[in-house]
Amino acid sequence: MRNLAHQNTPIGWDYLTPQSYLALAPGGRERPVAAIVHGDFAPPPRPWPQIHSHLPPLDGAARVEVLSSAAAATFEREDGFDLLLADDFMIAAGRFEEAGGESLAAGTERLYATLLRLIADRGYPHLLRLWNILERINREQDGLERYRHFCIGRHEAFARMRPDLAERYPAASAVGAGGGGLCVYLIAARSPGTPIENPNQVSAFRYPAQYGPRSPSFSRALVKQWGAHANLFISGTASITGHETQHAGDLAAQAERTADNLETLVRAAEQRSGTRFRLGDSGSMLKAYVRRAEDYPLVGDLVARRLGRDASVLYLRADICRAALLIEVDGVLFA
């Protein structure tokens, strides 16, 4: 079920075809605990969260990103949210569809506040990783880019519900899709992880006001120790130095700078945690978000050259949170 035997943390990862996914048995030793569906595939209901990303794979074939665990787990639903509870971790997923006059900022705040309440009520208060997929993320709405409306709502929910997280945020990414409203899913735990920052970048939560009324609320990465093993959850990483976008319009240069930032981030995580993570080996589960579908062949070559051909990379068509960015990479590493 897991991509590799050395994924020894409580949560394993794999990218499956729809056929392989449908063949999974809920009663096996290693059971799915969540599935993120990328592309044109509508699986039947299963006893775990199934999240439709609205992000098509660039090779044209649907994929299912499967999280798995050998731990006993319980699937619940509450207030429209899908919840998966295991011994050491919890997965939660929810969606805000813009209807009924509620603003994007208000809907985001409500969605986040509910998720924060659900994980706290069940005893998993420590956020490790958040994924945000926002319909038309770069479109202007009421005089402000939609991503910035989202950042306002997320910031307000954290400030109201979890002020203790200030400057100790979880890892996160936010990319844009052609539909689906706002989808948020997360991994939380009973014990905390260690946030990691890139020394070559301004922390996102300290961005100057030119990027919006509220700064983005995430850390560049997070290390989670699970006994003798660990995960490095890497946030969405792109061609940014300091707080400024680099190489606008130049895909090759952006991909190189993105790879530089990934390598710097992994080194920072290793120095902070004392744990060795190998970026680009067969234990790397990465996603590359590409703005222009026609750039897929070049992006594939660039990523393989810089990060190696052993890494598992899922290439998705997505908009990036800054309009000038053409590529973003996130992922999870195992140690």
- Coil/strand/helix, residue 143: coil
- Listing DSSP states for 34-66 in one string gives EEEEESS--PPP-SS-EEE----BTTS--EEEE
Catalytic residue flag (residue 328): yes
Q: Where are the alpha helices (DSSP H) in the chain?
A: 18-22, 104-121, 146-161, 251-273, 296-307
Distance CA 24, CA 3 (A): 14
Largest CA-CA distance found in the chain, in angstroms, rounded: 52
Of residues 109, 145, 197, 328, which has the active-site annotation? 328
Kindly tell me the sign of the dihedral angle through the C-alpha atoms of 282, 284, 287, 288: negative
CB 222 within 8 A of CB 171: yes
Pull the structure tokens for residue 234: 């890497």
**Which are the catalytic amino acids?**
328
